[in-house]
Amino acid sequence: MAEAIYAKTFAGENLATWQVVHEMSARIEGGSLIVSDSDRLSYHLLRIYGQEFVFRLVTIRCLIKFLPAASANFYIHHFGNLNVAELDARGTIVDRGISRKISVSSREPGLLDVEVTFLNCHPSISIGCSDRGHPVYSGTGRDQFAFLSITVEAFDAAAELSQIAPEERIVLVDVGGQGGLQTKWMLKADHITPIVFEPIASEAAAVRETLSRIPGSRVIEKALADASGMRTLHVAAASGCSSLREPNFNILQHYSIGWIFRTVGRQAVECTRYDELVDSMRLPSPDVIKIDVQGLEYEVLDGFGKHLEGCLAIELETHSVAIYRGQKLIGDLIALLWDWGFSLRQIRTVPNFDGDAIEFDALFSKRKDRIGSLSENSSRKLRLIQQVLEIG
């Protein structure tokens, strides 16, 4: 294996770096980290965080001693309800999960040297307890095992993330990519080619730091719209509410959340149509589009032009009333996308407006009358997209 990009051994007091999450307790005793599960129904996990772990091949090695009262198995978890591996006190592998490699050796009865390698697609690593194949369980509240040392190494994962041919990967166009990809798409990093648009340079740089690890990914410091040119971004008190449209306080003043839309600055940003970039920057046509642009959804969609024809699904945020001045509303988007062969599949109220149904996450996919003409490759992509978006 190539040289590690990150390598660290946790031992002694340094084991306390692993933070308790969900239902568990932990303490340093005799130079070891003693962990106990809880009698509450939940995960029972410890976790560390770091951007160096994202889209990396991670190897975790634990020297672990099962204690006399132990009733749980040793468990490695991947954020997003994925099992990495599970082993019992004898070193028997109960679940291989998403692990690429597992080795177990016994130094003495109850003391195991465990090494597990897996593709990690989240800025966290979690270890803890599981109950015979059930990571969510009600425990005993007793001491389960002691970690004498934990070593974590992270390696470049370009080869693992490139095993699917480019033409078979899902082209995900993420418009308004502040904060990076949604977790559900991060977990499919080996199946996607992400194209992220984020006009704020500092935000784009933060996304690029990790997204560049996915082969073929692009982060573009432009805003998408229905016409090219410079426009004013109204920077909101809450950055995620910033928009190319002015906030409409005739509406927002009635809600407790209204203050976060207050404009605290203005910034000139470059806008362009997506269909123009397909030619000028050789961008691929999208298979799935995610849009979070605070009131400019209609214009962004219009800017895709004919490339909506081959798109399979769209996820966007929309509104029932104009919380931004001049914005198109959910009915306008449904009508526009119907003309391009889409149906509204799901709509989920976002509970930000004191109980009123103002803001929604809407999911669209190709109508049934359009699905029959899809190629085998597009049909396969659509099935995976529906699985990720949880739509039938």
Q: For residues 27-51, b (16+ Cβ closer than 10 Å) or e, as one string? A: eeeeebbbbbbbeeebbbbbbbeee
pLDDT tens by residue, 340-358 = 999 999 999 999 999 999 9
CA 222, CA 199: separation in Å to the nearest integer? 4
- Taken in order of first residue, the domains within the chain and their CATH numbers are 6-157 (2.60.120.260), 162-389 (3.40.50.150)
CA 222, CA 270: separation in Å to the nearest integer? 5
Rg (CA), the chain: 24
CA 136, CA 208: separation in Å to the nearest integer? 34
pLDDT of 239? 87
CA 77, CA 82: separation in Å to the nearest integer? 6
pLDDT of 2? 82
pLDDT of 223? 94
Residue 263 pairs in a beta bridge with 236
Low-confidence ranges of the chain (pLDDT < 70): 1
pLDDT of 324? 97
Tokens of 14: 């340094």
pLDDT of 392? 73
Three-class DSSP labels, the chain: CCCCCEEEEEEHHHHHHCEEEECCEEEEECCEEEEECCCCCECEEEEEECHHHCCEEEEEEEEEEECCCCCCEEEEEECCCEEEEEECCCCCEEECCCEEEEEEEEEECCEEEEEEEEEECCCEEEEEEEECCECCECCCCCEEEEEEEEEEEEEECHHHHCCCCHHHCEEEEEECCCCCCCHHHHCCHHHEEEEEECCCHHHHHHHHHHHCCCCCCEEECCEECCCCEEEEEEEECCHHHCECCCECHHHHCCCHHHHHHCEEEEEEEEEECHHHHHHHCCCCCCCEEEECCCCCHHHHHHCCHHHHCCCCEEEEEEECCCCECCCCCHHHHHHHHHHCCEEEEEEEEECCCCCCCCEEEEEEEECHHHHCCCCHHHHHHHHHHHHHHCCC
pLDDT of 178? 85
pLDDT of 110? 78
pLDDT of 36? 96
Among residues 281, 287, 299, the alpha carbon closest in space to that of 219 is found at 281
CA 104, CA 71: separation in Å to the nearest integer? 19
Sign of CA dihedral 121, 127, 131, 136: negative
Do the bridges between strand 229-236 and strand 223-224 make them parallel or antiparallel, or are there none, so unpaired?
unpaired
In angstroms, the Cα distances linking 191 to 99, 171, 284, 348, 380 are 17, 9, 15, 26, 12
pLDDT tens by residue, 357-379 = 999 999 999 999 999 899 999 99
Do the bridges between strand 124-130 and strand 44-49 make them parallel or antiparallel, or are there none, so unpaired?
antiparallel
CA 124, CA 277: separation in Å to the nearest integer? 35
pLDDT of 177? 84
